[in-house]
Structure 1
Amino acid sequence: MGDSYFRHHLQHLLASAGVTVDGPEPWDISIHDNRFYRRVLTEGHLGVGESYMDGWWDSPALDEFFYRVLRAGLEQKVSGLPRILNALAGKLFNHQGIHRSLKVGKTHYDIGNDLYRLMLDRRMIYSCGYWHNAETLDDAQENKLRLIFRKLQLKAGMKVLDIGCGWGGAARFAAEEYGAEVTGITISKEQAHWAEDHCKELAVNIRLEDYRKVSGRYDRIYSIGMFEHVGYKNYRRFFQTVRHLLQPDGLFLLHTIGSNRSDTNTDPWTTRYIFPNSMLPSAKQIAAAAEGLMILEDWHSFGHDYFHTLKAWYENVEKNSEYIEKHYGRRFMRMWRYYLLSSAGSFRGRHVQLWQILFSPKGIEGSWAVPR
């Protein structure tokens, strides 16, 4: 098949999603290298992402482009073989085993605290904000933290475990605002150093540690934006670990991105360039992993808020694009822009979700209105 076949076929698919090559709309695309068509149709999302990083195509509004492509279901019509091979690899191998768990820390979270300081809110929270009555990113992230700790009924003196504590923003907030004693664990050395420095005057203990090695007993446990790195082969063990660490009358809150279907791996572009060995859990996988161990008290879905969060991060990145391109390179800048805006389009299109799920070991007694 010649290049004209690939060009005609892909243009036809894009048109079905309302996207035109060299069209007038901000979500339309311009092609700078005609090899783009064959690459996309034979390599799927990996080809789409890498060709963007290589400067083969552009769109004035990448998030709008991906919103339309995903709402039209085009990802199911392009390059089935790479998806099949990727899923097969996920079934055969435990990519999130304990000996491989540090890779995402080194590849993604350790790349530079300066980058994340420019992109994130003042507390360095790298997860979805809660935009109910919020005008700014700082407000949305504080709303999210208050929502979590209200759901957990957090009180002074409680011993709390933060699984995947990031740069320590949530742990610091729990200690400062609620008087909790927090242990935070992360697999990123850079995050651990930052968190230790910013929490050193508080009742916060930061550890560079895998969740499978944690010991002790805790009144409350939460995990914000870390479960995406656990992997479906380890979901049951994750919940077994939480149940073992949690007091009988404790509460556990899981804040995670979710998939609409049960997969065994993530897409190849994301795992190669952004989050190695990651994958998104489905509702079915989470429920099955917790069954018999924990009682599900509440399931809160607010994925559209991640669209707003990612757009806010993108705006911060663009304001600092000159610095980022100088220190990280032009191709990195295009990669990061693609990562943020393709993700924003995915959430707006409801291709992926954001969930907060509350669990208890034995069930909360009496009536209780879960905060919103």
Structure 2
Amino acid sequence: MVLFGAKKTTKSPGYKGTSLEAIRHHYDFLGDFYRLILGPELVYSFGMWEPGDTLEAAQLRKLDHHAEAAHAVGAARVLDVGCGWGSLMKRLVETHHVQHVVGLTMSPGQAAWIRDQKWPGCEVRAENWYDHEPDGPYDAIVAIEAIEHFAGNTMWRAQRVARYREFFLRCHSWLRPGGRISLQVNAWNERGWFASLVLPVRPVTRNGDAGDSGRLWGVRGIRDIYDGVKNVREGLHASRKVFPECSLPTRAELIEAGQGLFRVLEVRSDREDGVRTVQSWLERGEANRARGAELIGERAVADILREQRAGLKFLREGRSTSLRMVLERE
């Protein structure tokens, strides 16, 4: 789960998103703690919850949703961008009868772990999507909470959209005609990252975004000002200690980036799924705090739990959401 990204990002044509150093910090070093709290499937993204669900059930439902939304069921070749520890790859082959899945991760530790599992039909590549050269066209592409690594908040909006468009251009070239992408993204509400953090909380609408409360910037109370400053402070902490070089997009940025390349079939804001997932992670994190300190140190564990508490607050208040989109190649 990514909250904020304030580290200066390179804006040259060679910029490829989050650096290998930052990836290794989060997924290889901090990942030793995350694996204590994610459950047996090692799914590191928001689940899809129904009443009475366990975390494990919600995660499997999420994986199945993306398989079906991307029309990956029974496909010959599927690409998983940001494959993590391979939970979707395994599910696609074993449950959804996909013949061959290619997973991309920049984490050497994740790639080695997947290779050690020796799952039939699963090929993992330790590489950036920017450098990916497929052996043949894909029938479907899934990217679950990967886009947060593609751009930085110090980029102007037009530059961020250009980075996302570069990804969609590559996906367009990799997919067969009519192929689909199923995306899941941690996203700010439509006000963008800074306004989402500092402006007063507004009532959450039915689509999961913050609505309009009618309160004006100039007449905010001291409590609102303090809350906005605290939100920025917590976001900066997460950026430095947990998710360096990452940022969240908005729905509008992603839709704009895909124009002329993909037709948007579905957009859904599942904020409550994020709330319930982070609540579960926090409970398991507190229960595994001592063991986590043995693995990565007490300070690092405290940083992760602090980031998750801030993320939970932002989700509850409608400052951020879990955005799910289905796109079809034009």
TM-score, normalised with respect to structure 2: 0.78
Say which of 105, 110, 130 aligns to 1:212.
130
- Give the root-mean-square deviation of aligned CA atoms: 2.4
Q: 1:252 to 1:117 in 2, by over 3 A?
A: same
Instruction: Find the aligned partners of 1:352 and 1:96 in 2 and give their Cα distance.
Output: 30
> What's 1:117 paired with?
35
Instruction: Find the aligned partners of 2:13 and 2:291 in 1 and give their Cα distance.
Output: 34
1:330-345 equivalences under 5 Å are: 330-345=298-313
**2:100 paired with 1:170:** no
**2:121 paired with 1:203:** yes
- Partner letter of residue 262 of structure 1? G
- Partner letter of residue 242 of structure 1? C
Say which of 188, 192, 205 aligns to 1:262.
192
For the pair shown, the structure with the greater C-alpha radius of gyration is 1
Instruction: Find the aligned partners of 1:327 and 1:159 in 2 and give their Cα distance.
Output: 37
1:144-163 equivalences under 5 Å are: 144-163=62-81
Instruction: Find the aligned partners of 2:323 and 2:52 in 1 and give their Cα distance.
Output: 19
> What's 1:224 paired with?
144
What SS does structure 2 have at the residue aligned with 1:202? Answer: coil
Structure 1 unmatched runs, 5+: 1-82, 363-372
**2:45 paired with 1:132:** no
Instruction: Find the aligned partners of 1:340 and 1:351 in 2 and give their Cα distance.
Output: 14
After TM superposition, give the deviation of residue 132 of structure 1 in Å. Answer: 1.8
Instruction: Find the aligned partners of 2:104 and 2:239 in 1 and give their Cα distance.
Output: 23
What SS does structure 2 have at the residue aligned with 1:178? Answer: coil
* Aligned sequence identity (%): 27
Question: How many positions carry a matched residue from both structures?
Answer: 275
Give per-residue Cα distances to partners, 1:300-341, cap 9 Å, x unaligned.
Answer: 110111111011111111111111123322222221210111
**2:244 paired with 1:276:** yes
After TM superposition, give the deviation of residue 291 of structure 1 in Å. Answer: 0.6
Structure 2 unmatched runs, 5+: 152-159, 195-231
Give per-residue Cα distances to partners, 1:94-117, cap 9 Å, x unaligned.
Answer: 699228532331110011553222
> What's 2:163 paired with?
234
Instruction: Find the aligned partners of 1:334 and 1:157 in 2 and give their Cα distance.
Output: 43
Instruction: Find the aligned partners of 1:104 and 1:183 in 2 and give their Cα distance.
Output: 23
Instruction: Find the aligned partners of 1:95 and 1:172 in 2 and give their Cα distance.
Output: 35
- Partner letter of residue 283 of structure 2? E
Give per-residue Cα distances to partners, 1:171-205, cap 9 Å, x unaligned.
Answer: 1100110111100000001111112222x131010
> What's 1:359 paired with?
327
- Partner letter of residue 171 of structure 2? V
Contact 1:132 1:140 in 2 (8 A): yes
Instruction: Find the aligned partners of 2:17 and 2:32 in 1 and give their Cα distance.
Output: 28
